[in-house]
Amino acid sequence: MPPGIHIPSVLHQPSLVLNESWVALRTVPVRHALHLMFTGAARALDSDTFELYEFERWIEQEVRPQESSVRTVRKPIRAPETIVLTRYKGVPVMLAPFCRRNLFRRDRHTCQYCGSRPGTPELSIDHIVPRSQGGRTSWENCVLSCRRCNHRKRNRTPAQAGMLLLSHPQQPRWTPLFELGQESIRQSWSRFVRHEAS
């Protein structure tokens, strides 16, 4: 392996968690998915047949070509891509927590004033109503701004600066797509996860 390149362990790859109604709830690392299966709290979902497997039956399955597996002393075990909880029927409204990373995801690395995408180092978090005017750090009051727009707006509201927002900022709903990004969504999740950002 070339120096500087890190290949994450299969145990850290995401598994999609569904409730008993097969509604996506969240993702967990494969190691946690296997633990949930081992304790009887979840069963693995075969992405080809949609058959559910308890832990004992799952570990007896042969690893298919192009399929991730966990190495054990005895034999490799298929890494579950999707698991279904056995005792959870609820469908919570899950909202994404406010943090810098999630704000960049919500705004798609785009300046919310001019629409440019200059790259992460050139973007900053702008308070629509400046903190000096009582503005809070929240989903509804924070957007990404490029350096040029940030300099133009300064310590003013958009109205005071004669600027317009491209969209009305709000707290996004959590989805596996929002958490992981489009490139990390598995093909086998397509039945359960929408393929557009929330």
| Contact partners, residue 10, CB within 8 Å, separation at least 6 | 30, 68, 69, 70, 79
87 and 46 in one domain? yes
Torsion of CA 163, 165, 170, 175, to 10 degrees: -140
- The count of structural domains within the chain is 2
pLDDT surpassing 80 at residue 6: no
pLDDT band for 189, please (50, 70, 90 cuts).
confident
Is residue 83 classed as helix, strand or coil in its secondary structure?
Answer: strand
Asked whether residue 168 is domain-assigned, the answer is: no
Going by the DSSP 8-state scheme, the letter that residue 64 receives in this structure is P
147 and 56 in one domain? no
113 and 60 in one domain? no
| Contact partners, residue 14, CB within 8 Å, separation at least 6 | 27, 28, 29, 30, 176, 180, 184, 186
Q: Which domain holds residue 106?
A: 100-161
Asked whether residue 194 is domain-assigned, the answer is: no
- Report the DSSP beta bridge partners of residue 143: 126
43 and 24 in one domain? yes
Going by the DSSP 8-state scheme, the letter that residue 95 receives in this structure is B
Per-residue pLDDT at 44: 96
CA atoms of 122 and 157, how far apart (whole Å): 21
80 and 127 in one domain? no
- Domain at 138, CATH number: 1.10.30.50
141 and 44 in one domain? no
Asked whether residue 198 is domain-assigned, the answer is: no
183 and 133 in one domain? no
- Report the DSSP beta bridge partners of residue 43: 84
Q: Is the dihedral of CA 126, 129, 134, 135 positive or negative?
A: negative
Asked whether residue 171 is domain-assigned, the answer is: no
Which amino acid is it at 74?
R
Identify the residue whose tokens are 């809070």: 136
Asked whether residue 37 is domain-assigned, the answer is: yes
For residues 40 and 25, the answer to whether their CB atoms sit within 8 Å is no
Model pLDDT for residues 131-166, shown as the tens digit of each residue: 999 999 999 999 999 999 999 999 999 999 999 999
Model pLDDT for residues 107-127, shown as the tens digit of each residue: 999 999 999 999 999 999 999
86 and 46 in one domain? yes
Asked whether residue 30 is domain-assigned, the answer is: yes
43 and 72 in one domain? yes
120 and 22 in one domain? no
For residues 86 and 94, the answer to whether their CB atoms sit within 8 Å is no
150 and 129 in one domain? yes
113 and 53 in one domain? no
Asked whether residue 88 is domain-assigned, the answer is: yes
Asked whether residue 87 is domain-assigned, the answer is: yes
* Cα three-residue angle 77-29-19, rounded to 5 degrees: 95
As given in the structure block, the two tokens for residue 128 are 């629509």
